[in-house]
């Protein structure tokens, strides 16, 4: 299995300037490659391949000093990234999906480049990352890369004014699947981020909502600056720094919460939500994005794979409307927060009832109950 290990870099002023110049060179190469493909199709109805564009690099480097300054494999990976973008575009078209044509990258829309095979060396003793044609950059190795792991690629990423090195590491599959002893059904929400089938609730921190005033304040300051001025550029960085802090707060919380779930349970059952469709409702779009359900599920899934825990997704259809005890349909509006079944008399919090229904829809959970002879819960109708 592959895992990515990310570390903070502390380049010197000169190194940061070089890294920024490399990003600009890669961005222009990407845009020129996109323009070549677009013009070739519009003029001659001809498709340009990655191989054809990569073969042109050698000649282009003879007349372009900026291309000469960048490691050859980094340039090749930039064209490979463009080729992947087109392949994904055509794949979506063939599947009948709505797909946007690949777009040109603006000045602040290209923030990473990759050494795909070689050109980088990690010095653990001196805590340096040696990059070909750039030099040794100080790196904060806050956790070791497993000795059995094989580093495949190194991606240098810019996040506003921070720099990071991301290593893609191939790891062996060590963990075997745990014996299913503890299972949990999870209902995600906005009032409470998570409600478990045992009645436990996890409060929604609402990181964006709590920082909205600060975001608005910095945004107003930016709007007062003259467009294109240096002061507006500086203020734009401050706005981005506020958003970055919110992102890191949410990410840290999700990492800790997903770790807690994986450590305590052998089977974790989520609803299979269509979050992309849900955020089309402008009344709740900001709250759903702030909650970050998709990120939490993703973190839980990859941690579970390492730990031998199972993560299962079940249908979300009518999980809040069905009674978890008798399976009868009990219609509710969004304002109704208590589930009160007129058929069997069950009274529960709406989300608690939903979490139980989610667990009962799990195929693996039902199989474990059947094999253990504990009997099956009433299935929803």
Contact 286, 295 (CB under 8 A): no
Query: Cα(332)–Cα(340) distance, rounded to whole angstroms?
Result: 10
The continuous run of DSSP H or E covering 248 comes out as helix 230-264
Query: Cα(105)–Cα(238) distance, rounded to whole angstroms?
Result: 22
Contacts of 260 (CB under 8 A, 6+ apart): none
Query: Cα(148)–Cα(325) distance, rounded to whole angstroms?
Result: 49
Give the β-pairing of 135-140 and 128-131: antiparallel
Distances (CA, A) of 137 to 19, 158, 353: 11, 14, 53
Residue with tokens 């003879």: 62
Which pair of structure tokens corresponds to residue 39? 């013009």
Contact 7, 165 (CB under 8 A): yes
Reduce the DSSP state of residue 378 to 3 states and report it. Answer: coil
* Radius of gyration, CA atoms only, the chain: 25
Reduce the DSSP state of residue 233 to 3 states and report it. Answer: helix
Strand partners, 338: 349
Query: Cα(139)–Cα(23) distance, rounded to whole angstroms?
Result: 19
DSSP assignment of 92-136 equals HHHTT---PPP----TTS--EEEE-SSSEEEETTTTEEEETTTEE
- Catalytic site includes residue 223: no
Sheet holding 192-196, edge to edge: 201-203, 192-196, 183-188, 267-271, 310-314
Distances (CA, A) of 322 to 185, 272, 348: 15, 17, 12
User: Which of 187, 266, 290, 312 is labelled catalytic?
Assistant: 187
- Catalytic site includes residue 351: yes
User: Which of 77, 266, 271, 290 is labelled catalytic?
Assistant: 271
User: Which of 218, 266, 290, 351 is labelled catalytic?
Assistant: 351
- Catalytic site includes residue 187: yes
Contact 120, 130 (CB under 8 A): yes
Give catalytic residue positions.
187, 271, 351
């Amino acid at each position: 299995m592959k895992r990515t290990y990310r570390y903070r870099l502390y380049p010197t002023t000169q190194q940061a300037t070089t890294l920024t110049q490399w990003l600009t060179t890669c961005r222009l190469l990407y845009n020129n490659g996109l323009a070549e493909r677009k013009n070739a199709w519009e003029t001659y109805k001809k498709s340009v391949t990655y191989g054809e564009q990569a073969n042109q690099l050698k000649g282009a480097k003879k007349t372009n000093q900026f291309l000469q300054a960048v490691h050859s494999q980094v340039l090749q990976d930039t064209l490979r990234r463009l080729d992947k973008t087109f392949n994904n575009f055509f794949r979506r078209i063939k599947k009948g999906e709505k797909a946007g044509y690949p777009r040109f990258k603006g000045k602040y829309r290209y923030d990473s480049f990759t050494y795909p095979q070689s050109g980088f060396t990690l010095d653990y003793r001196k805590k340096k990352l040696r990059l070909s044609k750039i030099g040794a950059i100080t790196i904060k190795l806050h956790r070791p890369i497993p000795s059995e792991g094989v580093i495949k690629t190194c991606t240098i990423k810019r996040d506003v004014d921070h720099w990071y090195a991301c290593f893609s590491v191939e790891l062996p599959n060590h963990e075997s699947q745990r014996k299913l002893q503890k299972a949990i059904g999870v209902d995600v929400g906005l009032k409470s981020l998570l409600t478990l089938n045992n009645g436990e609730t996890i409060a929604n921190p609402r990181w964006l909502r709590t920082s909205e005033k600060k975001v608005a304040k910095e945004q107003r300051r930016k709007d007062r600056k003259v467009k294109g001025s240096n002061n507006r550029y500086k203020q734009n960085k401050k706005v981005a720094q506020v958003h970055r802090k919110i992102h890191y707060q949410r990410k840290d919380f999700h990492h800790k919460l997903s770790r807690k779930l994986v450590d305590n349970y052998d089977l974790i059952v989520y609803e299979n939500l269509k979050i992309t469709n849900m955020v089309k409702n402008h009344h709740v779009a900001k709250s759903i994005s702030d909650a970050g359900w998709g990120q939490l599920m993703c973190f839980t899934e990859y941690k579970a794979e390492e730990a031998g825990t199972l993560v299962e997704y079940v249908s979300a259809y009518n999980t809040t409307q069905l009674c978890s005890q008798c399976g009868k349909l009990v219609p509710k509006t969004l304002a109704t927060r208590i589930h009160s079944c007129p058929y069997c008399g069950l009274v529960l919090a709406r989300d608690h009832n939903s979490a139980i229904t989610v667990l009962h829809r799990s195929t693996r959970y039902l199989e474990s109950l059947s094999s253990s002879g504990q009997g099956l819960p009433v299935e929803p109708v």
